[in-house]
Chain A
Amino acid sequence: DADVTQTPRNRITKTGKRIMLECSQTKGHDRMYWYRQDPGLGLRLIYYSFDVKDINKGEISDGYSVSRQAQAKFSLSLESAIPNQTALYFCATSGGISNQPQHFGDGTRLSIL
Chain B
Amino acid sequence: GQNIDQPTEMTATEGAIVQINCTYQTSGFNGLFWYQQHAGEAPTFLSYNVLDGLEEKGRFSSFLSRSKGYSYLLLKELQMKDSASYLCAVRDRGGSYIPTFGRGTSLIVHP
Contacts and interface: CB of A to CB of B under 8 A. Distances in A.
Interface of A: 4, 33, 40-45, 48, 50, 56, 58, 88, 90, 98-99, 101-107, 109
B99 A102 contact: yes
Interface of A is mostly: strand
Given A98-B30, A98-B31, A33 B41 contact: no
29 contacts: A33-B98, A40-B8, A40-B103, A42-B101, A42-B102, A42-B104, A43-B87, A43-B89, A44-B101, A48-B98, A56-B96, A58-B98, A88-B40, A90-B43, A98-B30, A98-B31, A98-B91, A99-B31, A99-B48, A99-B50, A101-B35, A101-B48, A102-B45, A102-B99, A104-B42, A105-B42, A106-B41, A106-B42, A107-B40
Most chain A CB within a 10 A radius of its CB, from B42, B97, B101: B42
A102 B45 CA distance: 7
Given A42-B87, A99-B48, A99-B50, A104 B43 contact: yes
Nearest to A96: B97
A48 B101 CA distance: 15
B31 A43 contact: no
Complex A-B, nearest 4 residue pairs according to Cβ-Cβ distance, in ascending order: A101-B45, A104-B42, A42-B103, A43-B101
A68 B97 CA distance: 20
Interface of B: 8, 30-31, 33, 35, 40-45, 48, 50, 87, 89, 91, 96-104
Contacts of A99: 31, 48, 50
Most chain A CB within a 10 A radius of its CB, from B8, B43, B48: B43
Contacts of B89: 43
A109 B30 CA distance: 32
A88 B40 CA distance: 8
A102 B42 CA distance: 11
Contacts of A103: 45
A101 B47 CA distance: 9
